[in-house]
Structure 1
Amino acid sequence: MVKVYGIKNCSTVKKALDWLDKHGVAYEFQDFKKWGVAEERLIAWAKALGWESLVNKRGTTWKQLDDEVQSSVVDAESAFPVLMEKTSMIKRPVVELGDQVILGFDEARYAQAFNIR
């Protein structure tokens, strides 16, 4: 089963979900805003992608953090509590496809991952 994590009103998440729907890919969606994200998920994603890739430093949430908090995010151990509290700071969507983890939305990458031509 494909699992998609993100925020329902995020434009990138909407594009990804629309693409999955259009190509008949069944998935389960978990909204960070409603359900949060478990540390176990962050650990798994960081193992697959690196913790740095999960932190959206271009977004409004990151920019609104105090300089002290921003400078304290130096590794997975310091990043995860912030990401769990401020879930909108996680780059999205995060797609779990078996053992593969895909971050963000790119049509070509999705087509390859889901074996769609």
Structure 2
Amino acid sequence: MKLYGLKTCDTCRKALKALEQAGTPATFVDVRADGITAAERAEFLSAFGAALINTRSTTWRGLDADERARAPEALLESHPTLMKRPVIRAGEALYLGWGKDTQAALLG
């Protein structure tokens, strides 16, 4: 299992801790420090579409209209912190966020 997020993100830390306590630890990938590949970006966008872009983030609010109008993949390439977090890969399944539905699916 892999968890993609930011090391400073409280939600990512909660998810990592809960998964570890449940006996299913995840490998953490910091999207800012480690980055993600173009293939991973494309796969995440294919799975989640526009929902992958966090339009409530400080990063988004700091972008001008021209920057916001760019294609989602280009935005994520230049601003990886725009990705909603966490993205969790569990086998072939992908989950976005740490809501009750994701928790139920991964923690049982």
Q: Same fold (TM over 0.5)?
A: yes
Partner of 2:73: 80
Does the CA-based 8 Å contact 1:94-1:103 persist in structure 2? yes
Gaps of 5+ in 2: none
Q: Following superposition of structure 1 onto structure 2, how do residues 33-112 of structure 1 map, counting pairs within 5 Å?
A: 33-50=32-49, 52-70=50-68, 72-73=69-70, 78-111=71-104
Structure 1 Cα separation of the partners of residues 34 and 102 of structure 2: 27
Instruction: State the alpha-carbon separation in 1 of the partners of residues 5 and 107 from structure 2.
Output: 23
Identity of aligned residues (%): 31
Aligned equivalents of 2:13, 2:107: Cα separation in 1: 21
Distance 2:31 2:102 in 1: 23
How many residues were matched structurally?
A: 108
Return the offset for 1:109: 2.7
Q: Post-superposition shift, 1:46?
A: 1.8
For normalisation by structure 2, the TM-score amounts to 0.90
SS at match of 1:8: coil
Residue 27 of structure 1: how far off its partner (Å): 1.5
Write out the 4+ residue segments of structure 1 that deviate beyond 3 Å after TM superposition: none
Aligned mates of 2:24, 2:101 — CA distance in 1: 15
**Structure 1 regions of 5+ residues with no counterpart?**
none
Moved more, 55-64 or 27-36: 27-36
Q: Is the 8 A contact 1:48 1:100 kept in 2?
A: no
Could you say what secondary structure the match of 2:95 adopts?
strand
What SS class does the counterpart of residue 114 from structure 1 fall into? helix
- Secondary structure at the counterpart of residue 36 of structure 1: coil
